[in-house]
Amino acid sequence: GESVGLHLPTLSVQEGDNSIINCAYSNSASDYFIWYKQESGKGPQFIIDIRSNMDKRQGQRVTVLLNKTVKHLSLQIAATQPGDSAVYFCAENAFSNAGGTSYGKLTFGQGTILTVHP
């Protein structure tokens, strides 16, 4: 039969624009989040992380915003460049069924495809 794959959200921007990629996370108890960038044929590349005691964190050209009230995370990329074209994933630390934090386990979102046009 026909396989059903993930239908990733897409974002298309012009070079130089600012990009905002959104992510809704699932567990209100999650207290650590990471954004990854994955280019075709490569493994996910760490971009930036944020802990739940923060609302905002800035890196080089990137800002992550965390809204715990609505369980929402966003990644803002300033002055987007063609080299930023990739799939972007948010990930949250996962918790075991017993309620404790699961070491070494991240739960990933489905990803967003960012395309930057020159």
Partner 1 sequence: KAGVTQTPRYLIKTRGQQVTLSCSPISGHRSVSWYQQTPGQGLQFLFEYFSETQRNKGNFPGRFSGRQFSNSRSEMNVSTLELGDSALYLCASSTGNLNTEAFFGQGTRLTVV
The only residue of 43, 83, 99, 118 in contact with partner 1, by rule CB under 8 A:
43
Is 6 an interacting residue with respect to partner 1 (CB under 8 A)? yes
**Token reading at 19:** 């990009």
The only residue of 22, 32, 57, 65 in contact with partner 1, by rule CB under 8 A:
32
- Interface with partner 1 in residues 48-87 (CB under 8 A): 49, 51
The only residue of 11, 13, 22, 31 in contact with partner 1, by rule CB under 8 A:
31
Other CB atoms within a 10 A radius of the CB of residue 81 amount to: 13
Which residue type occupies 7? H
d(CA 65, CA 75): 7
Measured in degrees and rounded to the nearest 5, phi and psi for residue 42 equal: -125, 165
Q: How far is the CB of 49 from partner 1 (least distance, A)?
A: 6
Which residue in the block uniquely carries the two structure tokens 């996910």? Answer: 44
d(CA 69, CA 115): 30
Which residues in this chain contact partner 1 in the complex, by CB under 8 A?
Answer: 3-6, 31-32, 34, 36, 42-46, 49, 51, 89, 91, 93-94, 96, 101-111
